[in-house]
């Protein structure tokens, strides 16, 4: 999922350099949403995935 975030962010930067501001804003927004979903899932898996040592 983090790979998708980086991909959308790179596309947003390339679109911004080429002057496609609407496309750049859209791809940056998508990258931000995917990153926060990744962050929430990572935190959940970190806390809920722990096993007891007994």
Question: What's residue 36's pLDDT?
Answer: 95
pLDDT tens digits for range 2-53: 898 899 999 999 999 999 999 999 999 999 999 999 999 999 998 888 766 6
Q: What is the pLDDT of residue 34?
A: 93
**pLDDT score of 50:** 75
Domain ranges of the chain: 2-45
Residue 54: what pLDDT?
57
The pLDDT of residue 27 is 93
Q: How far apart are CA 40 and CA 26, in angstroms?
A: 21
- pTM for this predicted structure: 0.76
Structure tokens at 12: 């947003």
């Amino acid at each position: 999922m983090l790979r998708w975030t980086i991909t959308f962010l790179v596309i947003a930067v390339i679109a911004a350099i080429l002057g496609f501001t609407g496309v750049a804003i859209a791809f940056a927004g998508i990258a931000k949403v995917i990153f926060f979903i990744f962050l929430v899932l990572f935190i959940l898996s970190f806390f809920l995935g722990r096993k007891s040592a007994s």
